[in-house]
Structure formats: C-alpha cells, structure tokens
Amino acid sequence: MTTASWRPLRGIDPASLRAARIQAHLATQWLARTARAYVPVRPEDGHTNLGWEDALGGLVTHPLPDGARFGLCIAELTLVLLDSSGRKDTFALDGRRDADACEWLGRHARARGLEAQALDAALPYGLPALAGGGVYMAGALAEPLGELAMWFSDANGALAAARQWLATRKIDAPSVRCWPHHFDLATLVTLAPGRSTGIGFEPGDDYYDEPYFYVSLYPAPETAALPPLPAIGHWHAKDFAAAVAPAHRILAAKDQGAEVAAFLQAAVATAITPTSPD
C-alpha cells in the first residue's frame, strides 16, 4: 500500500484549524441541502454523500438531473457550480451569511426548473449555528482552511490506496465518500453478514479535536486482545472500537505518507482477519 500523492503537512495552530473545520463543515451543509433537494434518491441516503475532487480542492455532489453538480472549494470556502465544461459560476462565502448562499443556490435551481424552496427543508440532524454573528470568515482563516484542504486531499489518496490494497485481496470496498453529517471521508466494507469495517478520515470531532485516520471494527472486539499497531496509531475503545492515527503523531512522523499507509495496512489487515469463535 502506497500514498504517492501525499503532500507533507506542516501542522498549524489547533484552535485555528478547529475554527476552519467548523466553518467548512457548516458550509458543506449547502451541498447536503442541494443533494437532498435535487439529486435523485439513492438507498440509505446515498444521494447525499459527496466526493472529493483534487482539481477543485473540495467536495462535490452527485449530478443533478441535468448533469450539473455543486461543489465547495474548502481552501477558499467558495461554492461552485460545475457543468460538463467545468466551472460555470462561483460564490465566495467570505463575509456572507447562510441566507446569501441559499439565495445563490436557489437562483441556479430556478434556472433549472427546480423549486428553490426545497433548499429550506430541515436537515435530519442537528449542527451548531455559525459563530461570529453568522458570517463566514474565509479570509481570516485562509491558512488553516488551506491546511484542512490538504488533509482532505492526502486522506483521499491514502484511502484510495487502501481500497486498491483490499481489491488485491478480492475484497470490494465502495468508493470513498464524504458524509456531510460527520464530515468524514470513508468507505464502509462489508466483510460478512453482520461484520464490517469503516476505513476513513475524520477532520476532528468530539473524540479527537484534531484530524485523524481510523479503521473501525464491527462488532467491537476486546481491543486489549488486538495486535499492536504502528507507532502513529492506537486502539480506541470508548463508544466504538477502532484503530486511530491522530494528527499530532502523523505530523511528527519522518515520512508522513509512508507511516499513514503502514498504519492503514496494519489496521485493515486486522479488521479483515476473521476472529475465532468463542
């Protein structure tokens, strides 16, 4: 397993990165709202997940009925309308409010014969309100937003390599997608009836206030009995069982990409190994 596309991360003030992550997470909900309103429904809310595109430096929706997609450039916090020829229109969120984003998206929806009011439908999960008076602050967070975009780009490449490694073992892993509720990039692999592993990247949450890679195990085994992981990783046992490699260990690594690849390979190898019956 290799991560040839990995770009070294230098690290950044954790508080600034947290603020950037929260702003990007909330901005991503406009892609989620657009997908819920206009993308043809897929099982298990699959129409709402998002793909990463390096050319954009951001996340994109599945195609709307006319083939157009909407995206979010994370480094700039800019909404983008993409058609078959690439970028067509952009809307920078810096200094704007959610009402401004809704109006811009609604205008494009009406131009396609779609109901703009569909964007007002409540999301099926709760998120905190936008801080700072409800205004996006991309300009003030330019450096951490750029770092966050690099984390997503590196993660997308590392997880793609993990999928390829699984394919050599005749295990099918679905495409890596971002689920806007948790804001993580991941693939969920079914190994057997009632047994699965999630292989992903989370830019930060209530468990780890920093980016991290994870390989979850379901059903949860006794983590104390699991084999040791490479130095950047550890076994997490609170509320879920997973191998976790947090940002501060990755940033301290001599070769970040190689060590993330080794971590993922070791953790995925453990996840796919059948456990002995009790």
276 has pLDDT over 90: no
Residue for token pair 């209530």? 206
Secondary structure (3-state) at 221: coil
Residue 278: pLDDT band with limits 50, 70, 90:
very low
Residue 2: pLDDT band with limits 50, 70, 90:
low
The whole-number pLDDT of residue 133 equals: 87
Q: Which residues pair with residue 235 across a beta bridge?
A: 243
Alpha carbon 188 to chain centroid distance? Answer: 13
The whole-number pLDDT of residue 87 equals: 63
Taking only the tens place, the pLDDT of each residue in 29-84 is: 999 999 999 999 999 899 999 999 999 999 999 999 999 999 999 999 999 999 87
Q: What is the helix, strand, coil percentage profile of the chain, to 5?
A: 40, 20, 40
pTM for the full predicted model: 0.95
The whole-number pLDDT of residue 123 equals: 95
Q: Of 271, 149, 159, 156, nearest to 218 (Cα)? A: 271
* Number of residues that make up the chain: 278
Proportion of the chain above pLDDT 70, given as a percent: 96
State how far the Cα of 94 lies from the Cα of 97, in Å rounded to an integer. 8
Taking only the tens place, the pLDDT of each residue in 127-169 is: 988 988 899 999 999 999 999 999 999 999 999 999 999 999 9
84's tokens = 């078959």
Measured CA distances, 260 to 107, 139, 150, 187, 221 (Å):
43, 31, 14, 16, 23
Interval 213-219 mean pLDDT: 97
268 has pLDDT over 60: yes
Measured CA distances, 77 to 21, 180, 262 (Å):
11, 15, 32
Q: Of 176, 184, 35, nearest to 105 (Cα)? A: 35
β-strands 184-192, 195-202 pairing: antiparallel
Taking only the tens place, the pLDDT of each residue in 165-202 is: 999 999 999 999 999 999 999 999 999 999 999 999 99
